Amino acid sequence: MTNQLILIACCVMALCSTAAAVQVLESINTDTAKRLLLSYDLQQGNYNALAQHLSQLPEVTLNQQYFKQLTLNAARTARLL
């Protein structure tokens, strides 16, 4: 069910309202949805929202830690350009 909601949010983003898609992703409240929101935040240059969404992701596994670090590095690089 969650994957279907994420697919719906992506379709809404592509076809209609980005704001509506962001609302759907925020309401889903899964790690996958949060990762999609991180991508959107980075593209929009919304670093405050990116930091908020990033802080909500777990750091239990090494892969999760790497993902957070890479996302932070991408955000820092984007701010410098």
Alpha helix (H) ranges present in 1-81?
A: 2-15, 18-28, 31-44, 47-55, 62-80
pLDDT tens digit string along 23-65?
Answer: 888 888 888 889 989 988 998 889 999 999 999 999 999 999 9
Judge if pTM exceeds 0.85: no
Domain boundaries, the chain: 2-80
- Residue 70, judged by CB atoms within 10 A of its CB (0-12, 13-18, 19+), counts as exposed
